[in-house]
């Protein structure tokens, strides 16, 4: 694989994903409606219930609306990663994936190109959400926007790789909604996106607290929260990076017709 060929393939895949995104005018709006509803409606309703929340290093008090911003950024990345999974299933049913994966390039690289293109769109949507949140008076440090960029990219790639892995298992579009309900909502609610994990432990929900600690989305949200305030969560970043590698390798294995799920189903890529 020559670098020029690899770059051309990445450019082609990215251009296709961007063109699809531009044609689907409501996609950006639908991606932003969910987190904005949580920010404006949910936060307003629970501001007095939760009072102020604590962020690392746990001696800084911030309004609840500000606390949930990292979790809502994670929501944008999570839903976009699952949207990429849906697109992969659709492309496979329409035969587009078969054409893509027969290109004279390693399959892992073609999947990586899809992952990078999806991550680019995820991060752009995350920054659009940050800009709209600023219009609502939710103050996130401006330096945090820049400091969070590498973490948003890493988290977006991890969640996108999870979407790739799920697209291997989902045989038909009709099964997509049911599968996503067992992935998106447990990952989101069993995380510190809406409340600190120590509140779960303090309330006696030790089992839920334990599961939340093993949730990859938990560490993505924590890494984003630290980065927005100029701090580094080495543990969370390591877990997110490890999950990214594991999910991507499993997805690449699944899309290999000689070894993965496609061999068992007998369907082409």
CB 144 within 8 A of CB 234: no
Query: Scanning the structure block, which residue is given the tokens 């991890």?
Result: 158
Q: Determine the Cα–Cα distance for residues 232 and 246; give it in Å rounded to an integer.
A: 22
Q: What is the mean pLDDT of residues 167-192?
A: 78
Q: Is the pLDDT of residue 178 over 60?
A: yes
Q: Is the pLDDT of residue 52 over 50?
A: no
pLDDT number for residue 56: 47
Q: Determine the Cα–Cα distance for residues 168 and 249; give it in Å rounded to an integer.
A: 12
pLDDT number for residue 269: 46
Q: What is the DSSP letter of 175?
A: G
Please state at what angle helix 69-94 crosses helix 149-169, rounded to 10 degrees: 40
Q: Is the pLDDT of residue 3 over 80?
A: no
CB 227 within 8 A of CB 156: no
Which one has a higher pLDDT value, 129 or 139? 129
Q: Residue 177: is it exposed, middle or buried by C-beta count within 10 angstroms (0-12/13-18/19+)?
A: exposed
List C-alpha distances in Å: 257 to 20, 96, 268.
Answer: 27, 16, 7
Q: Determine the Cα–Cα distance for residues 117 and 96; give it in Å rounded to an integer.
A: 16
Total residue length of the chain: 269
3-state class (DSSP) for residue 237: helix
Q: Determine the Cα–Cα distance for residues 17 and 29; give it in Å rounded to an integer.
A: 17
Cβ within 8 Å of residue 207, ≥6 positions away: none
How far from chain centre, in Å, is Cα 114?
A: 14
Q: Quote the pTM value.
A: 0.84
**Which pLDDT band, with edges at 50, 70 and 90, does 268 fall under?**
very low
Q: What average pLDDT does the chain have? A: 79
pLDDT number for residue 258: 62
Question: pLDDT, tens digit, for every residue of 73-121?
Answer: 999 999 888 887 777 777 776 666 666 666 677 888 888 888 998 899 9
**Which pLDDT band, with edges at 50, 70 and 90, does 54 fall under?**
very low
CB 162 within 8 A of CB 248: no
* Torsion angle, alpha carbons of 117, 80, 216, 168, to 10: -70
């Amino acid at each position: 694989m020559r670098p020029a060929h690899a770059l051309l393939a990445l450019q082609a895949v990215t251009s296709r994903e961007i063109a699809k995104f531009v044609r689907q005018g409501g996609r950006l709006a639908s991606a932003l409606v969910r987190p904005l509803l949580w920010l404006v409606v949910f936060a307003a309703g629970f501001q007095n219930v939760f009072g102020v929340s604590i962020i690392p290093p746990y001696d800084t008090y911030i309004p609840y609306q500000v606390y949930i911003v990292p979790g809502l950024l994670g929501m944008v990345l999570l839903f976009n990663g699952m949207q990429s999974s849906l697109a992969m299933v659709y492309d496979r049913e329409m035969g587009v994936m078969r054409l893509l994966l027969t290109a004279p390039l390693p399959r892992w690289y073609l999947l990586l190109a899809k992952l990078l293109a999806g991550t680019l769109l995820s991060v752009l949507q995350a920054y659009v959400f940050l800009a709209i949140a600023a219009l609502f008076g939710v103050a996130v440090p401006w330096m945090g926007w820049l400091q969070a960029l590498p973490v948003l990219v890493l988290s977006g790639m991890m969640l996108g790789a999870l979407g790739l892995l799920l697209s291997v298992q989902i045989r038909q579009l009709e099964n997509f909604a049911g599968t996503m309900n067992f992935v998106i909502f447990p990952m989101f609610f069993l995380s510190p996106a809406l409340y600190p994990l120590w509140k779960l432990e303090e309330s006696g929900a030790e089992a839920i607290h334990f599961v939340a600690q093993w949730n990859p989305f938990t560490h993505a949200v924590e890494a984003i929260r630290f980065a927005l305030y100029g701090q580094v969560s080495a543990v969370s970043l390591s877990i997110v990076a490890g999950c990214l590698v594991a999910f991507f390798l499993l997805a690449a294995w699944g899309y290999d017709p000689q070894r993965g799920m496609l061999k068992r189903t007998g369907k082409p890529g």
